[in-house]
Chains A and B, each alone.
Chain A
């Protein structure tokens, strides 16, 4: 019989909606600027900063500050750990939805 994981087994850090959005966006693009993420997710500066910091402290996300010309630009990207845990998270969801199915959107990579 296929094991169906309970929500308690899902990664708590990624499971939060806003952080899931950040990680999903970064998984799709590899790297995004702070403003791009904010616009894509419809989040405020403060909200995005708080959640990005949580992900950075957990070492899921790397935050780099630099300049484009004279304008400061903050860039976020997934770490190898973050990418793997996101893939595991998606895999876990897919097994809840369709027990027995193994290949999903993240496994095609």
Chain B
């Protein structure tokens, strides 16, 4: 193969890769569910309201003042909230994909799940270990930063908007860890609750969900 043909083949390969990427991104857009983000946000707000009522404070470190049984109830509440959030996301994604006639489990969906899995797994493990050590005050910041990082990474395979959401979560986690840990539960409500709802409304307004 001469130099010109080799260059042409390389260029053609790049063009084909770009075409595949764009076609996949265009399809992925259809399975990005704005309603799921709103549903997850509402669930988080409910969990925050219940937690605030039990703790009597916006400070998550007040978990340390609860007896073991009540603490387990709150852990169960947040576990159920997370599970419901994922279930809503999966259900809405499936419905949105079916409505558009595309596969809900596309290659890009798989990549996004793989990108998010380490952050979510690390968040679960750190929640348990920090909680056992009595560092409940750090848990919300860890959730925000790991979730933000996970969403940021997953956004590489999607449109740009989730990347901004990830950045907001990460920044909120840093702010919470360093400056406003006394209202860490409120920060959870602002990020996992309000930010998700605003993001979902944005997606629906922008893409019609």
Show the binding face of A for B, using Cβ within 8 Å.
Answer: 4, 6-7, 17, 20-21, 24-29, 32-33, 35-36, 39-42, 68, 90, 93-94, 96-97, 105
B16 contacts chain A at the CB level, 8 A cutoff:
yes
Q: What are 19 sample pairs from A and B whose C-beta atoms fall under 8 A apart?
A: A6-B8, A20-B18, A24-B19, A24-B22, A24-B26, A28-B27, A29-B26, A29-B29, A29-B30, A35-B206, A36-B26, A36-B29, A41-B22, A42-B160, A93-B12, A93-B16, A94-B12, A96-B12, A97-B9
Main secondary structure of the interface of B (DSSP, over half): helix
CA distance A28 to B26 in the complex (A): 7
Main secondary structure of the interface of A (DSSP, over half): helix
| Given A6-B8, A28-B22, A93-B19, 10 more pairs with CB closer than 8 A | A7-B8, A7-B11, A21-B18, A24-B18, A28-B24, A90-B16, A93-B16, A96-B8, A96-B9, A96-B12
How many residues of chain B have a CB within 8 Å of chain A? Answer: 25
Q: Which of A6, A17, A21, A94 contacts B16 (CB 8 A)?
A: A94
* A29-B27, A29-B30 given; A40·B22 CB < 8 A: yes
